[in-house]
A and B are shown apart, each in its own frame.
Chain A
Amino acid sequence: MSESYLPIFILFFVTLGIGGAMLGLAYVLGPRKPSAIKEMPFEFGSPNIGTARERFSVKYYVTAILFLVFDIESVFIYPWAVLFRELGWFGFVEMLVFVAFILVGLVYVLRKGALEWE
């Protein structure tokens, strides 16, 4: 069984090699004439003010947390989706109740305006 994963490992190292080779080749072939201005982060030509290690909008964090909730939900749905014929209507209602609980959360979050990006 585990040997059926071997090709994936081979492919993994092949792709890693391709990526590394492409970067390495460009590194070798390309000219390099560094200057202070070239090494500055490009922010539309104006002198940089501070670094990019800034705080950013809390909305991205809310999105990430929502993603976690629904990703876990989908992880629970996968095994049910494979077995739902055997579980029958009982399993279906159980899954509906589970999804409904999380959907209530989503509706709450949306009503609170957590995903208003205007």
Chain B
Amino acid sequence: MDNVMCSQADKFLGMVPYDWTMIVIVPVAKILFIIAVIIGLYTPLATLVERKLSAAMQDRIGPNRAYIIKVGGKPLTIFGLFHTMADALKMFTKEWTTPKSADKFLFYLAPVIGLVPALLTFAVIPFGPPIQVCDRVVPLQIASINVGVLFIFAVGSMGVYSAALAGWASNNKMALLGALRASAQSISYEITFGLTLVGLMMVFHTVRLDSMVAQQVDLLHWGVFLQPLALVLFFTAAMAENKRIPFDLPEGESEIVGYFVEYSSMGFGLFMTTEFIEMSAIAFLTTALFFGGYTVPTWVATDHSFAMWNVASELWPAAFFAIQMAAFFFKVTVLWLFQFVVRWALPRFRYDQLMRLGWRIMLPLSLANIAVTAIAILAADGDAAKGTEYVMMTGLVMIGLFVLSLFYSRKPRQSGDSGHGHDHGHDEQQATVAAAHH
């Protein structure tokens, strides 16, 4: 049976040279899969989930009107699912305006510059176990390159150009302010973003994402247990770079409209799309780095032979492959939803708080995390099991340090406020009186 199917496949593939199959056809298939999942599924769903979750957290119903057909005289709405299509259509058919004083070329270029690096991030993230098709092993990762994590740093930092160029090209003072805030914020958190992953590089002794995931087969070797502080810092820094809500100062609607104030129709739509794509990119990355990627925390999974799926062999490995894929997308979806929940759970930072968090708390902590991880691994003196144990113990200590540092940072400021110290009681009284009146 095996041989028949394989030889059939070989005969079919024999029409194209073998190299082209692996170099072009297989990667293109993987790219199409990722694009379909990200742009076809997660991004449209994000527009709906954002509104539905906001509604749920504010005790409203949320979008539930859009429909295409009526069934039995009643419109078929399916939890407002058609709003995703309505939103997309609306973006495409709105009027396109360009300010006269704008730098036209950069103005059109900026949204595209944001989209490209956001999607490029997915190139190195393994989204499934390597599958074996006849005699070929196909890794489910668009590009299995040896610089893995470094590629993500390189591409991830490109996103700042989009905001900076959009704000500058608009020739609008508010947009420029938004762009400046966005740039300063992105670069401040960029360092923490880069340094937190150094801990993982040290623990897994590689920069390749596929081998990082492969080392997380055992539940206790998941990045979240080895580098808990790195997870907290990484997720925070990633959300800050994506300018999502506790960090959305560059687009604070109530003060400055943001760096994309001049964009209408799809120009604005692309910025939103980029934000949603980056949310799934963060979820994908965090899953691969900290939550074991496609690995399933079972006692079966430790047998590596099951990780290979032979198309032409019996069903059970195929089922195991399906479970692994499902596990990956389950983890991704949970982390993705978590980012929506954070939006309504936390208020927006003030700019000085944002900068203080980035430079005074997260940066020193990420450096401390590297030093402590290095000490833990070096103290084990080449003993891998002992090293893992030490790293896990120090990880808990680091989390404690993090909580302590948060308390320390809540200490009220000494300078500036001291002159008005005696007024506070008075102010509070006035505030209570005012509240009672309304």
Tell me if B176 and A19 are in contact (CB < 8 A): no
Tell me if B171 and A7 are in contact (CB < 8 A): no
* Binary contact readout A84-111 vs B (1 if CB under 8 angstroms, 0 otherwise): 1100110010011001000100100010
Tell me if B100 and A14 are in contact (CB < 8 A): no
- Interface SS of A by simple majority: helix
Does B145 sit at the interface, judged by CB under 8 A? yes
Does B265 sit at the interface, judged by CB under 8 A? yes
Q: Count of chain B residues with Cβ under 8 Å from any Cβ of A?
A: 86
Nearest residue (CB) in A for B359 is A115
Given A67-B188, A110-B360, A11:B119 Cβ within 8 A: yes
Given A63-B187, A71-B191, A99-B367, A30:B94 Cβ within 8 A: yes
Given A19-B115, A52-B172, A77-B370, A39:B201 Cβ within 8 A: no
Tell me if A6 and B23 are in contact (CB < 8 A): yes
Q: With both chains docked as a complex, state the minimum distance between the C-beta of B44 and any C-beta of chain A, in angstroms.
A: 13
Tell me if A10 and B27 are in contact (CB < 8 A): yes
Q: Count of chain A residues with Cβ under 8 Å from any Cβ of B?
A: 68
Tell me if B99 and A41 are in contact (CB < 8 A): yes
Tell me if B207 and A82 are in contact (CB < 8 A): yes
A31 to B90, CA, bound (A): 12
A20 to B58, CA, bound (A): 37
* Binary contact readout A3-22 vs B (1 if CB under 8 angstroms, 0 otherwise): 11111101110111011101
Q: With both chains docked as a complex, state the minimum distance between the C-beta of A112 and any C-beta of chain B, in angstroms.
A: 13
Tell me if A6 and B190 are in contact (CB < 8 A): no
* Binary contact readout B247-286 vs A (1 if CB under 8 angstroms, 0 otherwise): 0000000000100011001110110010000000000000
Does B337 sit at the interface, judged by CB under 8 A? no
Selecting from B67-75, B374-382, B423-431, the interface stretch reads B374-382
Tell me if B116 and A31 are in contact (CB < 8 A): no
Does B305 sit at the interface, judged by CB under 8 A? no
Tell me if A52 and B175 are in contact (CB < 8 A): yes
Tell me if A70 and B363 are in contact (CB < 8 A): yes
Within 8 A of B (CB), among A34-77: 34, 38-44, 51-54, 56-57, 59-60, 63-64, 66-67, 70-71, 74, 77
11 pairs from A and B in contact (CB 8 Å cutoff): A6-B23, A6-B24, A7-B142, A15-B120, A23-B108, A23-B266, A30-B93, A32-B96, A41-B99, A67-B190, A84-B374
